[in-house]
Amino acid sequence: TGRAFIYFGMLLWCFLGVSIVADIFMSAIEAVTSKRKERTLSNGRTIAVKVWNDTVANLSLMALGSSAPEILLSVIELFSAEMYAGDLGPSTIVGSAAFNLLVIIAVCVYVIPDGEKRTIKQPVVFAIAA
C-alpha cells in the first residue's frame, strides 16, 4: 500500500506538470495568434488586421505541440545512428498519426448526442489543413 500511495502521488505530480506545460503552451499560441498588422486602404484609412487565421494557426501549432515528443525521438535516433533512420522514429510518428486520425476522430464523432449535428464553419480552411 505504501508503494501504491507513492506511485499515485508521483502520477498526480506528473499530471500537474503536464497541465502547467499545456497552460503555458496555450498562452503562447494565444500570444502568437493575436498579433495584428496595420494596413492602409486605398482611401487612406488605416485598419488593424490579424496576421494569422485563427483556425490555421491553432491547428498548426497544436499539431506541432502534440507531435513534439515523436519528432524529438526521431531526431535523437537520427543523431545517434549517424543520420540513418532506424525503426523507432518513423514508426512512432506513423503510429501517432494513425492514432490521431482514427481513434480521436472516432471518439469526437461518437460523443455527439443523438439528433444533433455539427458543421464546419470554414470548410476551405478545413480542407487545406486536412
Cα(50)–Cα(128) distance, integer angstroms: 19
Q: Cβ atoms within 10 A of the Cβ of 64, count?
A: 12
The residue behind cell 518513423 is 90
Taking a C-beta distance cutoff of 8 angstroms, is the pair 59, 129 a contact? yes
pLDDT at position 13 is 95
Picking from 56, 32, 66, 50, the residue whose alpha carbon sits closest to that of residue 126 is 56
| pTM of the entire predicted model | 0.47
pLDDT digits (tens, 9 = 90+) for 26-59: 888 788 888 889 999 899 899 998 888 777 777 7
